[in-house]
Amino acid sequence: MPTVQQLIPHRPPFLFVDEIVAQTEDTLVARRTWRAEEDFYRGHYPGAPITPGVLLCEAVFQTGALLLSGKLGGEGKLAGLPLLAKVENVRFRNPVYPGDTTSCEVKINATAGGFYLMSGCMKLGDKRVLSVDFSVVWKIPEART
């Protein structure tokens, strides 16, 4: 199985998936341990660190990018980037603290015009942390002049 960094362009400090745990044609499960030394914990919140919800969502989105890359024949050979097109129905249920190991599960629900409509969730053990619906397109971004 290819590694995370062979499949998607994200790199530390903005890589929020450690490893792929399981994969089928339309689903992928990945894992992430949230490390206490990560810089964002210094400001969110000092003395009571909690993982920012936007970064938890990003971990799910990166898991979706891993699924698409594998499905599209990735391993560093794909032109373009996974671009987030839509986010909806985000629900946060439990916080994530430094040292916690979470799993992200994503699935492709449909495709339309090059867009992949996906759903994902994050769990901490058997507790659901969040659920989200989102759409991704894999394309070459337009050049900025």
Active site residues: 44
Task: Give the contacts of 48 (CB within 8 A, at least 6 positions apart).
Answer: none
Read off φ and ψ for residue 84, nearest 5 degrees: -70, 130
Alpha-carbon span 130 to 137, nearest angstrom: 22
